Amino acid sequence: GQERWLKRPSVGHSAARHFQKARRIAAEMSGEVASKKAAWNACLAKSGGSPGKCDKLEKDFRGAAKAAGVESCADETVALMKCTAGGSRVNGCSKAFLSMRECNRAGGKQLMAEGAGYAVAPGKMGLFMAEAGSLAQSTPPTRTLEGMQEFGQEYAKSLGIQTGEVRF
């Protein structure tokens, strides 16, 4: 059995050559993607918060990432930069930041936008406690003094602390 298989080098060697070639192409692509991402990031760092100044490098990076089957997170990067450079930053840019963070996770997104809140990404529930699904649906308080006070009072009540009561 096994000796007969070993005597057929065309099957074994062909498959080995195929996998070696696939690994070499993948390494070259990942090297190309990394190179293009580094060039785009360097341009963004010098752009003064204007991602449009780096459009050609962004397009090259997106193309390389797509060809390699890799998530570029370019949309999330540009959205976060636009938010922090514009009038929206007074609201904290939390959605843009969270979207950027989740896109860049090595193991893939763990949370995904769903309605006004977030949901645990498909296949990622095993990373969280059972209660995480309902917690992910929460939304941040309104960025006003009243909104934060209201949130604080509701949070205190959920911990069994009544209004006006102080615990240390």
Checking if the pLDDT of 5 tops 80, the result is no
Give the pLDDT confidence of 44-84 residue by residue, as tens digits: 999 988 999 999 999 999 999 999 888 899 999 999 999 98
Q: How many helices (H) and strands (E) does the chain have?
A: 7, 2
Burial of 145 (0-12, 13-18, 19+ CB in 10 A): exposed
Q: Is the dihedral of CA 136, 102, 127, 69 positive or negative?
A: positive
Checking if the pLDDT of 149 tops 70, the result is yes
**What is the per-residue pLDDT for 168?**
72
**What is the per-residue pLDDT for 37?**
92
Checking if the pLDDT of 126 tops 70, the result is yes
Give the pLDDT confidence of 93-119 residue by residue, as tens digits: 888 999 999 998 888 888 888 887 788
Which amino acid, one-letter code, is at 108?
G
**What is the per-residue pLDDT for 125?**
85
Residue 146: enclosing H or E segment and its boundaries? helix 145-158
**CA-CA distance, 128 to 107, in Å (whole number)?**
14
Checking if the pLDDT of 136 tops 70, the result is no
